Amino acid sequence: MAIVETEVEKPAAQGAAMEITVSRQDLVRELTATQSVVERKTTIPILSNFLLEADGDQLTITATDLDQAIRTSAAVKVKKPGSCTIPARKLYDYVKLLPEGEVSIKLLENHWVQIRSGRSNTKMVGMARANYPQVPEFPAVTATSIPVAALKTLIARTVFAISNEESRYTLNGALLVLKAESLAMVATDGHRLSFVEKPGVELEGISGEKRVLIPRKALLELQQLVGNTDAEKVDFADDENMLFFRVGHRTLSTRRLVGQFPNYEAVMPRDNTKFAVVRSSELAAAIQRVAQFADERSGAVRLRLEGNELKISSQSTESGESEDTIDTPYSGDPIMVGFNSSYILEFLKALGNEGEVRLEFKDSQSAGQMRPEDPDAEYRSRYVLMPMRI
């Protein structure tokens, strides 16, 4: 994709004489929020830079890799309005090492930028602001506002199940399902599927159902933004190509994933009648111990339900064998199923290893299902796991 050239504007807006003073603490906080988007190894050098724009009493900082962008701001003293671009990693690493106090940033000739703090004086080689790609603005119309706490939980319970295989394009993200009175998120990599729903949420502006496929990389950025904010709501908007999430004074924009997400409702088991309820922390601890002796490549462990006991076991020719037993009410027919131990542990970790979890089975060849055992839970979670042959 070619860089969008911006038209030459008046000297001040073009950064001919930009000069500002900003608190080092404020600058580090905002650079931290944006630097993860910056491309480390890019064939387009300008993408390794931050765009700094000063006007009024505000500094706006932008970072983009063309697929996504973060724009944030900080209160500053603007002596001369304007804009410039500075190597992102170098600026971030340098400013972190400065002592607390005021930092002055001044644009010099030939796109050089001077940074002063106390007795430190540094000049960095910038690039022409005109070459910085245009980053889309947040749309005038907001689709809806999503509670920060809910979005944080939805991401935490699904992001680990997103596929890393680039060939499976539509699985490289999570599906956000917005309804007038609920929101849900689902992710799958073809081997497991994680679904979480928050009922009883009023989403203004949503009628019927709205489905949005969010790329994994953007979801990780969004997770950082909602994890470091005092805001209670995330403003969400979209257009044909882009998704926008505004968290306080920070905005994340990302290209939307296009394509058909799998019919996840059809994957949910409906006749897993054999089940056991165990403490999440107890199950996680047992699997961690037993998994030390699982086959290194598959990480497979066996779960056997029989006579009021759940037995977890593994064995490999290289390391030996191990078995742990957990007491649980169960009087049905014996059943043994193999699963990837890491997949189970990741789900339990997302739940915080708290409370009880329900394990549901049909037979040794069918998908198993896990869910928190709490009828009054604020969130409804379901985790579907394909079995492994051991």
Q: Which class is domain 268-385?
A: alpha beta
Q: What is residue 131's predicted lDDT score, i.e. its pLDDT?
A: 94
Cα distances (angstroms) measured from residue 370 to each of 130, 162, 193, 275, 323 = 53, 17, 10, 9, 21
- What is the arithmetic mean of pLDDT over 55-81? 96
Q: What is residue 259's predicted lDDT score, i.e. its pLDDT?
A: 86
Map residue 327 onto helix, strand or coil. strand
> Is 311 in contact with 325 (CB distance < 8 Å)?
yes
Q: What is residue 56's predicted lDDT score, i.e. its pLDDT?
A: 94
When pLDDT is cut at 50, 70 and 90, the band that residue 13 belongs to is very low
Is the pLDDT confidence value at 77 over 70?
A: yes
Burial label, 119 (beta-carbon count in 10 A; 0-12, 13-18, 19+): exposed
Q: What is residue 15's predicted lDDT score, i.e. its pLDDT?
A: 40
When pLDDT is cut at 50, 70 and 90, the band that residue 8 belongs to is very low
Burial label, 301 (beta-carbon count in 10 A; 0-12, 13-18, 19+): buried
When pLDDT is cut at 50, 70 and 90, the band that residue 390 belongs to is confident
Map residue 125 onto helix, strand or coil. strand
Residues 6+ apart with CB under 8 A from 19: 54, 78, 79, 80, 82, 104, 105, 106, 107
Q: What is residue 215's predicted lDDT score, i.e. its pLDDT?
A: 94
Superfamily of domain 19-131: DNA Polymerase III, subunit A, domain 2 (3.10.150.10)
Cα distances (angstroms) measured from residue 358 to each of 273, 325, 355 = 12, 16, 10
> What residue spans in the chain does CATH classification 3.10.150.10 cover?
19-131, 144-263, 268-385
Q: What is residue 5's predicted lDDT score, i.e. its pLDDT?
A: 40
**Where is pLDDT greater, at 65 or 375?**
65
The first and second tokens of residue 269, run together, are 């088991």
Superfamily of domain 144-263: DNA Polymerase III, subunit A, domain 2 (3.10.150.10)
When pLDDT is cut at 50, 70 and 90, the band that residue 16 belongs to is low
Any idea which of 168-172, 319-323, 382-386 has the lowest mean pLDDT? 168-172
Residues 202-244 have pLDDT tens digits of 999 888 899 999 999 999 999 999 999 999 999 999 998 999 9
**Where is pLDDT greater, at 215 or 1?**
215
Residues 353-363 have pLDDT tens digits of 889 999 999 99
CA 183 – CA 172 distance, rounded (Å): 20
**Helix (H) or strand (E) segment spanning residue 199:** strand 192-199
- What is the arithmetic mean of pLDDT over 287-291? 97
When pLDDT is cut at 50, 70 and 90, the band that residue 12 belongs to is very low
Burial 189-212, CB ≥16 within 10 A → b, else e: beebbbbbbbeebebeebeeebeb
pTM of the model as a whole: 0.89
- The length of the chain in residues reads 390
Any idea which of 23-27, 40-44, 204-208 has the lowest mean pLDDT? 40-44
Is the pLDDT confidence value at 328 over 90?
A: yes
Is the pLDDT confidence value at 375 over 60?
A: yes
When pLDDT is cut at 50, 70 and 90, the band that residue 14 belongs to is very low
Any idea which of 15-19, 230-234, 303-307, 342-346 has the lowest mean pLDDT? 15-19
Q: What is residue 170's predicted lDDT score, i.e. its pLDDT?
A: 80
